[in-house]
């Protein structure tokens, strides 16, 4: 129908009408809260580049996880910050590693929350890269796979239900899946960081996790942000190797890849609203340029609208409270 019989504004006239026909729904249980857990701390340590975010002790991580569960956030993703680092990143698979300790504690003391762990070596290596190095400073792909598999089994045995391989080594999903299955962890969920771009938006995270490379960068293993087709090939390969969800990050600058990955794989899609996205919103709000709550909600809705089923975001608790004020 043409105007005047057709009037699109009819359904925008009142809040009740707008809610009735709203296409994209954002729920707290679709959100995952990243948590940094550090060794050797007396209490939470605020991260200057990420206002409102801290490095936590195991006990304070449990309290934060409990806060998330109380407002129906779907899960947490744990990042470990060890005291000691080495060329292999051996702290990643230590039975008493900080992520393993936090996973056990949260599983034992918090109900109604999915416990997940980042699966990478960069926070644990003394050089800051995501795998073993060769004699020329390059990352050894195949040698790194065994260490990732060892870390995966250790994290699963400590209670992590969802693992987030974020290293971008070729073939790691299949190797990790085989190792988990062989160890009796066939129900452990793998969220493959298939669409992880070599992005400038990760800067605040590297301060938070102490994972800035000591030399060079990660462009030889993370995706060129200009390459959409390559991201889809990576996603399809990870699906073939046994991924349960596909991750795209950073979320806001890659809304097109979220949509394309969803359409190409027909798999559940996760997206990570990364540290730079979070910190830019915080900085804009602190300067009085934008309404933090409104921009937070609009940005998360856009990620959902693009096709993400799960969103990892440092805003998870604030967003959940805004979505469910009674909680």
- Number of structural domains (the chain) is 1
Structure tokens at 80: 């470990």
Residue 326 pLDDT grade (very low, low, confident, very high; cuts 50, 70, 90): low
The bridge status of strand 75-81 relative to strand 114-119 is parallel
What is the residue range of 48's domain?
26-323
Flag whether 20 is in a domain. no
pTM attached to this predicted model = 0.95
Taking all residues of the chain, what is their mean pLDDT, rounded to a whole number? 96
Flag whether 58 is in a domain. yes
Flag whether 311 is in a domain. yes
Residue 160 to residue 183: CA distance in whole angstroms:
14
The mean per-residue pLDDT over the stretch 43-47 comes to 96
Convert the pLDDT of each residue in 203-257 to its tens digit.
998 888 888 888 888 988 999 999 999 999 999 999 999 999 999 999 999 999 9
Flag whether 2 is in a domain. no
Q: Is residue 80 within a helix (H) or strand (E), and if so which, with residue range?
A: strand 75-81
Taking residue 229's Cβ as centre, other Cβ atoms within 10 Å add up to: 9
Q: Give the pLDDT confidence score for residue 199 in this predicted structure.
A: 96
Flag whether 14 is in a domain. no
Runs of H (alpha helix) within the chain:
15-20, 58-70, 98-109, 141-157, 172-182, 203-209, 228-241, 255-265, 275-286, 292-306, 316-323
Flag whether 213 is in a domain. yes
**Catalytic annotation, residues:** 196, 249
Which among 87, 81, 123 is positioned nearest to 101, based on CA atoms?
81
CATH number of the structural domain spanning residue 166: 3.20.20.70
Flag whether 33 is in a domain. yes
């Amino acid at each position: 129908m043409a105007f005047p019989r057709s009037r699109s504004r009819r359904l925008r006239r009142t809040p009740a009408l707008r809610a009735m026909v709203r296409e994209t729904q954002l729920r707290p249980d679709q959100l995952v809260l990243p948590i940094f857990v550090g060794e050797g701390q007396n209490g939470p340590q605020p991260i200057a580049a990420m206002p409102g975010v801290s490095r936590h002790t195991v006990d304070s991580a449990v309290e934060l996880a409990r806060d998330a569960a109380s407002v129906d956030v779907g899960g947490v993703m744990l990042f470990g910050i060890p005291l000691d680092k080495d060329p292999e990143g051996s702290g990643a698979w230590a039975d008493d590693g900080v992520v393993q300790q936090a996973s056990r504690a949260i599983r034992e003391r918090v109900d109604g929350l999915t416990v997940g762990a980042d699966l990478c070596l960069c926070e644990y290596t003394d050089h800051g890269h995501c795998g073993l190095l060769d004699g020329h400073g390059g990352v050894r792909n195949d040698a790194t796979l065994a260490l990732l598999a060892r870390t995966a089994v250790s994290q699963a045995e400590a209670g992590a239900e969802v693992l987030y391989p974020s290293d971008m080594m070729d073939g790691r999903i299949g190797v990790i899946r085989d190792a988990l299955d062989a160890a009796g962890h066939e129900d452990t969920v793998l969220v493959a960081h298939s669409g992880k771009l070599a992005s400038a938006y990760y800067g605040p995270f590297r301060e938070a996790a102490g994972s800035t490379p000591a030399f060079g960068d990660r462009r030889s293993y993370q995706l060129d942000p200009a390459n959409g087709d390559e991201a889809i090939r990576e996603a399809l390969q990870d699906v073939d190797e046994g991924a349960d969800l596909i991750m795209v990050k950073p979320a806001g600058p890659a809304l097109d890849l979220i949509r394309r990955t969803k359409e190409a794989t027909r798999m559940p899609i996760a997206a990570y609203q990364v540290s730079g996205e979070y910190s830019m919103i915080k900085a804009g709000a602190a300067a009085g340029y934008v309404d933090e709550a409104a921009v937070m909600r609009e940005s998360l809705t856009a990620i959902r609208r693009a096709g993400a089923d799960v969103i990892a975001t440092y805003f998870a608790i604030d967003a959940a409270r805004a979505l469910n004020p009674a909680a």
